[in-house]
């Protein structure tokens, strides 16, 4: 079973995240889960030849430099966006969207709906990176968090993300006395989880963060819908 990891490059590579490094760490987890990871940089043709029987799509990309003379204009990227939406919403390929993926593909009209939420410029934020704790939402019945304790990692705590109506928040993090959603199952079309953890490779050094990631992959690929 192939898992395709889309790593940000071109207009989807930002200056704050090492997408290649975190993409490779995520791929290691996929391999341990029995999948065959394939990493591809985002490009207008990145989804033109998707492997048959694709089991999972993982997005590790942000928003960076938009320069038509460098990597194509909006029209050149439109087929990529259409294929992406078709894979998830029509073909039913499960998708795991990591960290800055809540603020990528902003030029794709359907992306926020697929993810079931988004980072809102001027509103969403994070305090300085450091030791962080992410806790399952009490009372939520979902296989990803059933019996899961607090997740501790050296990471950014995304705050004031905006999950869409219908999305199911699974984990939150506390900042200034307020719990902020960081992991959710999208209520939109397709089988999609968003996970705000994973700013850099230090997040993947945490056993509890890896345990969460393994649960997410297992549910997306093999588990029943909650």
CA-to-CA distance for 70 and 188, rounded, in angstroms? 33
Least confident of 40-49, 62-71, 108-117, 174-183: 62-71
CATH topology for 2-222 is Rossmann fold (3.40.50)
Q: What is the mean pLDDT of residues 198-214?
A: 97
0.75 surpassed by pTM: yes
**Least confident window among 55-59, 68-72, 116-120:** 68-72
Q: What is the pLDDT of residues 91-123, one digit of tens each?
A: 999 999 999 999 999 999 899 999 999 999 999
The answer to whether the CB of 218 falls within 8 A of the CB of 55 is no
3-state secondary structure of 127: coil
Each residue's pLDDT tens digit, 22-54: 999 999 999 999 999 999 999 999 999 998 889
């Amino acid at each position: 079973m192939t898992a395709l990891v889309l790593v940000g490059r071109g207009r989807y590579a930002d200056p704050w995240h090492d997408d290649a490094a975190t993409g490779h760490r995520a791929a290691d987890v996929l391999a341990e889960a029995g999948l065959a990871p394939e990493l591809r940089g985002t490009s207008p043709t990145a989804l033109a030849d998707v492997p048959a029987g694709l089991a999972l799509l993982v997005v590790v990309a942000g928003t960076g430099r938009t320069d038509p003379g460098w990597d194509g204009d909006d029209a050149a990227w439109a087929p990529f966006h259409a294929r992406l939406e078709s894979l998830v919403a029509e073909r039913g390929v499960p998708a795991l969207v990591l960290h800055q993926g809540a603020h990528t593909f902003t030029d794709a009209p359907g992306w926020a709906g697929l993810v079931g939420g988004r980072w809102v410029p001027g509103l969403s934020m994070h305090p300085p990176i450091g030791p962080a704790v992410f806790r399952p939402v009490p009372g939520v019945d979902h296989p990803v968090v059933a019996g899961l304790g607090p997740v501790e990692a050296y990471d950014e705590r995304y705050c004031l993300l905006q999950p869409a109506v219908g999305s199911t928040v699974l984990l939150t993090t506390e900042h200034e006395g307020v719990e902020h959603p960081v992991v959710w199952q999208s209520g939109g079309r397709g089988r999609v989880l968003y996970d705000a953890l994973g700013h850099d490779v230090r997040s993947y050094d945490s056993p509890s963060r890896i345990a969460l990631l393994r649960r997410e992959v297992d549910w997306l690929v093999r588990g029943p819908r909650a």
